[in-house]
Amino acid sequence: MTVIAFVGSPRKAGNTDRLVEEILAGAAEAGHQTEKVYLSDYALTPIDAVYGDEMDWTDPRQGVADELIDKMVAADVVVLGAPVYWFSISGLLKLFIDRWSLYRRGEQRLMDLMAGKRLVVALAMADPHPGYVEMVLGPLRQAAKWLKMDWAGQVVASGISDPGDIENYPQVLADACELGQSL
Ligand SMILES: Cc1cc2nc3c(=O)[nH]c(=O)nc-3n(C[C@H](O)[C@H](O)[C@H](O)COP(=O)(O)O)c2cc1C
């Protein structure tokens, strides 16, 4: 099985990156092929308002996202990692997700291609007592449903701010590894 992870933090070697790394380490232990992609390495741009027949399938800026979505379509499991920014996922990850709307392979749209694949989410956040984690996860759960993907679990690291803070929470890292092993 192949597991692809997208890191939606602009901070390489930050807490999100570390969480994702641990999920992938667990998945590799379980014998899966893994790959990690930093969204910050790609020039993702906001999608235009596109609906139904008005979809601009020739938007040249879509190519950047399509390159990444191709990888997602080829994988069995998708891991989305995001720092929580302003009570939501990072804008970087959202730029990527918005671009899912314009993905097409022949006549097939993303929802025709993702059904049955699994989604894992990793969140890193500073708030030590966040009462709003489900609110952050909600749109991702809904996106998984829309794409007919199965929700394979989430790991949330709270109370962490600077890179390396996550090392103070070995249980969260162990949970991330276990989640990867379970895939
Ligand atoms: C622009 C910005 C907004 C943030 N908003 C929140 C927030 O709403 N809730 C929270 O708990 N942490 C918030 N944080 C803190 C980050 O989620 C936290 O530092 C996290 O560890 C960053 O992950 P990273 O190390 O992968 O970059 C914010 C950080 C930034 C830079």
Is residue 9 lining ligand 1, measured as CB closer than 6 Å? yes
Q: What is the CATH number of the domain that holds 66?
A: 3.40.50.360
Give, to the nearest 10 degrees, the angle between helix 62-74 and helix 91-99.
80
Position 79 scores a pLDDT of 98
Is residue 131 lining ligand 1, measured as CB closer than 6 Å? no
Nearest residue by C-alpha to atom 2 in ligand 1: 85
Position 19 scores a pLDDT of 98
Chain Cα centroid distance, residue 168: 24
Chain Cα centroid distance, residue 75: 13
| Whole-structure pTM value | 0.97
Position 58 scores a pLDDT of 83
d(CA 87, CA 127): 10
Task: Look at the chain and report how many structural domains it folds into.
Answer: 1
d(CA 114, CA 146): 10
d(CA 19, CA 48): 32
**pLDDT tens over the chain, length 183 residues:** 999 999 999 999 999 999 999 999 999 999 999 999 999 999 999 998 877 777 787 888 999 999 999 999 999 999 999 999 999 999 999 999 999 999 999 889 999 999 999 999 999 999 998 899 999 999 999 999 999 999 999 999 999 999 999 999 999 999 999 999 999
Is residue 161 lining ligand 1, measured as CB closer than 6 Å? yes
- Residue 59 domain boundaries: 2-181
> Are 87 and 135 within 8 A, CB to CB?
yes
In ligand 1, which atom is closest to the CA atom of 130? 11
Position 78 scores a pLDDT of 98
